[in-house]
Amino acid sequence: MGLIRKSCVFLCGLAVAGSVTLLPAAPVDRPLSAAARALERVPAWFEPNQGLLPPQVKYFSKGAGYALLLEESGAVVSLADGSSSASVRLTLLGSRTKPEMDAADLQVGRTNYILGNQPSRWTSNVPHYARVRYRDVYAGIDLVYRGAGRQLEYDFVVSPGADPSRIRMQFRGAGSLSLDQNGSLVLGLGDRQILQPKPVVYQDTPAGRMTVDGSYLVARNREVRFTVGKYDQTKPLVIDPVLVYAGYFGGDSFDSVTGVAYDRDGSVWLTGTTMSVVELPAQNEPLLGAMAGTQDAFLAKLSVPANGTPTLLYWTYLGGADREWGGRVWVDDAGMVYATGSTVSSDFPKTANAVSDKLGGAKNTSAVYNQDAFVVKINPASPSGADSLVYASFLGGSLLEVPTALAVDPAGIIYVAGYTSSIDIDPLVSTTLQPANRGGYEAFFYKIDPGAAAGASLLFNTYFGGRSTDVATGVGFDASGAVYISGYTFSDDLPIAGDCHQCVLNGGADAFLAKLDLTKTGLDTLVYASYLGGSGLDLAQSMAMDASGGIWLTGYTLSPDFPVTPDAYQSVYGGGAADAFLARVDLSRPPAEIITYGTYFGGSGTDIAYGLALLGNGKAAITGYTLSNDLPVIGAPASGETRALMADAFVAVLDTSVPGVGGLAFSTYFGGTNQDAGLNIAPDPAGNFYVVGYSYSRSLPVTDGGQKRSPFGSSSGFLLRLDKLPGESASSDPPPAN
């Protein structure tokens, strides 16, 4: 089945939706040692219809781009490619009209349909089953639908003495019906095709499973039957046509992982954007067990062992009736999970003490230009999914808000930064630093107490910027309560304060760093602000803070004179459209000396850094994407030594305690034949770290030698776990879990 034929394969499990993670574990002695195929390995399941579908539907299984509806009279497969849909009904001719149906093998998962913010639309605790059996569809023959890993399959189980030639199938809705050269059954639906591979026929015997010859037979009246070779008629016979739906063509699903955080219990949390369907683990009931709209944000918790298959521990969608985009995630020491993103859904869930309880300025009309930021706090250990929502709020005004950075202090206070095009953010505190948007896109900052009473959760918020574009991409705090905001600006009139390192815009755009004292009001709130950059464009994309007061920035630069330090790993611009950079700033030092480390990182092509994590002991990990064929590589697995084809993700660890070229501790490409990019990194206290991003590649270098098939023209997320470098011990300065 090739995409040139605009074909899909009939009825899959969850793989059709584009998985959120993709890599399985690798041997522990390799630096690129593990990653998660967890969601891709969650088995398909069936749910009883509890009023969500018409009453004739008894059980169903759903994925992005398909639904399998099991009725007494047969099975209906509905396919969709994002622009149109088609249905095929499988009817068993000459069978019992109302066979007994029952579900078996109760799974640990449950689904909660919490649709929007109307409790009357919510359905909770819907069980999952591994199989549904139709008993005696023909005399002595049962039909069993079951999940088989990421696939759905159906088996005809023929009892001893029963006649398999009685099985006669009809596929109503198919425009054409034929067999291909491999013996697969091909059903035509307009410009698409449905494929059922050649059936597997077998008997289980004391000597093991014995294969029996078998194939499809298509009669002139379009009936489909099975031909079966010789077999032992005193033993049961199983006829197993594999059902696999691959809804990759036409971009009917999308997944991207944009945030990752380490949990103190040893697990990892992810957030991002999805159109995928996953089975939900039972040990933690989710807030929202199914997509509420066409595209939702999500939160996922995974156990990622050093040597073994990752396990999905928790999943919840975050959304309303329209669209959401995931942003960042943070986990506190109590196990509470915080996440940001954007929404155009006016019914996005919110709590009574929200900063804003409505989509700003949208007047209940969802549109991409009425896109608010959101922030949520989730208690995943809550026994009730509905009660797991501790806090949720819209943030913004009547136009566009995109949150790009999140931090949470030990008291549970939330810090959110991003950018906005709104001129009417509401509410805005009276003590704000900057009460108005001075340009087109302006940075914004919120400080929120999710435990406060209604009307009191907003502690501070402000615009920050000049008359051009200003984007915040980092936020943090120190022990004194001071707040730090970083990003990039095209404004030559950015508010500057204190003993600035660089008091004027040096290029077309520069990075910026600002320090706020929220015990003060108005303009006095800004105690420090400075540009940072060379004569070209310098765009900071991420920020991290160390225990010594250092502020680390990464991003990319087009400046041949970016401020590098004498101990830089790479002191000269590498070439291409941009190089990545890494810088450490110490505001306790004199203005001319605040950059304690600065380096380029890149080859002769374009190199863009998005994510940053501090590994302790002076080491920093960065990730992004590269078009350089000569990116420095060290300690990489064989698959990471060269660029695959297009833009590849990269991961690099720089040891700032080692000057010059010896400061590169680890570097690897990661990619397939299409575009791939790393977006974010989270470390754990042992020195391991986790990288998330997106991939448009059909096959990435997974550590089990398999391939990951992503939707055509759409992305899938990925998760990598990289073990601490050889010879490394756990960090003496464990980084925060953002």
**pLDDT computed for residue 190 by the predictor:** 64
Confidence at residue 325, expressed as pLDDT on a 0 to 100 scale: 93
**How high is the pLDDT of residue 82?**
41
Length reported for the chain:
738
Grade residue 121 by pLDDT with cuts at 50, 70 and 90. low
Residue 526 predicted with pLDDT over 90: yes
* Preceding peptide of 427 cis, ω within 30°: yes
Concatenating the DSSP letter of every residue in 385-408 gives TGGGEEEEEEE--SSBEEEEEEEE
Q: What percent of the chain lies above the pLDDT cut of 70?
A: 78
Q: With cut-offs at 50, 70 and 90, classify the pLDDT of residue 124.
A: confident
Q: pLDDT: is 82 or 173 the higher one?
A: 173
The angle formed by the CA atoms of residues 738, 19 and 621, to the nearest 5 degrees, is 35
Over the stretch 365-401, which tens digit does the pLDDT of each residue have?
Answer: 444 468 999 999 999 988 787 789 999 999 999 889 9
What is the distance between the alpha carbons of residues 606 and 589, in angstroms, rounded to a whole number?
A: 33
Measured CA to CA, the distance from residue 458 to residue 450 in angstroms comes to 9
pLDDT above 70: residue 409: yes
Are the C-beta atoms of residues 557 and 564 closer than 8 Å to each other? Answer: no
692 pLDDT exceeds 70?
A: yes
- Distance between CA 508 and CA 489 in Å, rounded? 9
Residue 255's φ and ψ, nearest 5 degrees, are: -145, 135
Per mean pLDDT, which range of 10-24, 120-134, 551-565 is the poorest? 10-24
- State the average pLDDT over residues 98-111: 82
Residue 279: DSSP 8-state: P
Decide: residue 539, CB within 10 A, 0-12 exposed, 13-18 middle, 19+ buried: buried
Residue among 658, 691, 580 nearest 625 (CA): 580
**Better-predicted residue by pLDDT, 316 or 432:** 432
User: What average pLDDT score do residues 155-183 get?
Assistant: 86
By DSSP bridging, strand 664-670 and strand 648-655 are: antiparallel
Q: Could you tell me what percentage of the chain is helix, strand and coil, using 3-state DSSP and rounding each to the nearest 5?
A: 5, 45, 50
Q: State the DSSP H helix or E strand holding residue 38, giving kind and residue range, or none if neither.
A: helix 38-41
The encoded tokens of residue 172 equal 């109503």
Least confident of 110-124, 345-359, 420-434: 110-124
DSSP 40: H
| DSSP assigned state of 638 | G
Do residues 631 and 623 lie in contact, with contact meaning Cβ atoms separated by under 8 Å? Answer: no
- φ and ψ at 681, to 5 degrees? -140, 145
- Cβ-based burial of 733 (10 A; exposed 0-12, middle 13-18, buried ≥19): middle
Q: Which of 172-186, 313-327, 502-516 has the lowest mean pLDDT?
A: 172-186
Q: Do 725 and 31 touch, CB atoms closer than 8 A?
A: yes
Confidence of residue 703 (pLDDT cuts 50, 70, 90): very low
Q: Give the per-residue pLDDT at 724.
A: 60
- DSSP per residue over 65-121, as a string? TEEEEEETTEEEEEEE-SS-EEEEEEEETTS-SS-EEEEEEEEEEEEEE--TT-GGG
**Residue among 110, 432, 77, 30 at smallest CA distance from 287:** 110
pLDDT band at 76 (very low <50, low <70, confident <90, very high): confident
What is the C-alpha to C-alpha distance for residues 687 and 689, in angstroms, rounded to an integer? 7
For residue 119, what pLDDT is reported? 66
Is 75 or 498 the better-scoring residue by pLDDT?
A: 498
For residue 353, which of 403, 413, 400, 393 has the smallest C-alpha distance?
A: 393
Residue range 146-171: average pLDDT? 80
CA distance 613 to 552: 9
Q: Alpha-carbon distance 532 to 539, whole Å?
A: 9
Q: Is the pLDDT of residue 283 over 60?
A: no
Mean pLDDT of the chain: 81
pLDDT digits (tens, 9 = 90+) for 27-70: 223 222 222 333 344 456 889 988 778 899 999 887 545 678 89
pLDDT on residue 738: 43
CB-facing half-sphere around the CA of 145: CA atoms within 13 A? 30
Q: pLDDT-based confidence at 726, cuts 50/70/90?
A: very low
Domain boundaries, the chain: 3-13+45-243, 403-532
Reply yes or no on whether the pLDDT at 657 is more than 50: yes
**pLDDT by residue (tens digit) across 203-231?**
877 777 788 888 899 887 889 998 999 98
> What confidence score (pLDDT) does residue 605 get?
93
Residue with tokens 């993700």: 649
Q: For position 701, what pLDDT does the model report?
A: 58
